[in-house]
Structure 1
């Protein structure tokens, strides 16, 4: 399980408490900063107990807090702490899915269709967008260490860490072959395998290009219950 998955599960676990869920829902619906007294009244508990639960929600990243007068008054005294929802969202999926990545690729394909040539089809635009997205990911990873061409085993090690964070659940079948045990685009891959597997293949091919790993190739090799692509040392690679 990746760090991001663990963090998401821990965040959701904070909402297992009924009082925290109640206050979190009340603050989200308020659409304005909410003070401790108001949050406490919303669920029928003391201000002190509300402060404890609200600070738990802040620590989990669900709320943000600051000091502000909620009624706009300038009266003397301590400025109260107020709470608002954070901008982020929390999703837990086991096994991990990346439907937002697939959606981003398809949106980019629709909005840029034709940029690959006047005769470019929607499918070709999707493959181009997927390849570009993968290349950007590989380029970012390559920039973390010294530049240069990667040998097959080193490239697979680098790919293993990145693809684990993206839900592919990589596993070494051999020193020069990396199987991807989870399809982050499932179940859409099952409903339209030719399109989605093609996008997956283009994404991973682009990733290897951005990583500058010509000694490794992404190969379409469907296997039940796994990603349709695996990475292996290319012919003549070392």
Structure 2
């Protein structure tokens, strides 16, 4: 799933809890150890069964609640009756931020770097640089494969802009073809550990451009400026 689509899905999941009955149902499921039936939810909240069923299914649609089916009588075969729908709180973490933040990606890159440093004895900074560049290269290559051959400079540049936008960078194209990144997906981490995180970000974007293939030889470089990501992209 693309990051932009995932953000929309996460926002929808959180928005589903804005309704008081759904919040109460979600809290109920969080407190219960195991699956809960519609009847149990209805009784616990003193609401009609149909209301409980409606809002539980809305939480399922939002991705914050899971379902299963089970015959409550324990019988099987003909005459056993229809299985009941049971609910429990989902195990998938749901969080969202505006502007877009990718602390999950930063955590994955750092964990990979630490594991590699422990395995090889190499400096963590070197391992982080390598893991960030490799991750960016994979993402860029996947995007290039999905896009197919792009014949014009405008098509190639647009593909790069679209990929950067999908990963939360909010790119803007300047008059001279330089790409400024309005948003930093690692903003809070960069404020606290600027050298480490900005270096990681630079390597990630450099790998992403490499993976995308020829795009008029775009290069990522550090160019810190207030209100922007520390990296800018320009033609070599």
TM-score normalised to structure 2 length: 0.88
| Structure 2 contact 73–80 (Cα < 8 Å) conserved | no
- Aligned to 2:142, what secondary structure does the other structure show? helix
Aligned to 1:80: 84
C-alpha root-mean-square deviation of aligned residues, in Å? 2.4
- Aligned to 1:83, what secondary structure does the other structure show? strand
Aligned: 1:141 with 2:146: no
- In structure 2, relative to structure 1, the CA distance for the partners of 1:167 and 1:76 (3 Å cut) is same
Instruction: Give the gaps of 5 or more residues in structure 1.
Output: none
Query: Residues of 1 paired with 2:69 and 2:42: CA distance?
Result: 17
Aligned: 1:190 with 2:191: yes
Aligned to 1:105: 109
Aligned residues: 231
Displacement of 1:28 after TM fit? 3.0
- In structure 2, relative to structure 1, the CA distance for the partners of 1:230 and 1:194 (3 Å cut) is same
Displacement of 1:17 after TM fit? 1.4
Query: Residues of 2 paired with 1:218 and 1:154: CA distance?
Result: 19
- Aligned to 1:64, what secondary structure does the other structure show? strand
Aligned to 1:95: 99
Aligned to 1:12: 14
Query: Residues of 2 paired with 1:94 and 1:209: CA distance?
Result: 28
Displacement of 1:89 after TM fit? 2.0
Query: Residues of 2 paired with 1:139 and 1:13: CA distance?
Result: 34
| Structure 2 contact 72–83 (Cα < 8 Å) conserved | no
Query: Residues of 2 paired with 1:29 and 1:72: CA distance?
Result: 25
Query: Residues of 1 paired with 2:200 and 2:81: CA distance?
Result: 60
TM-score normalised to structure 1 length: 0.87
Counting helix residues as a fraction of each chain, which structure ranks higher?
A: 2
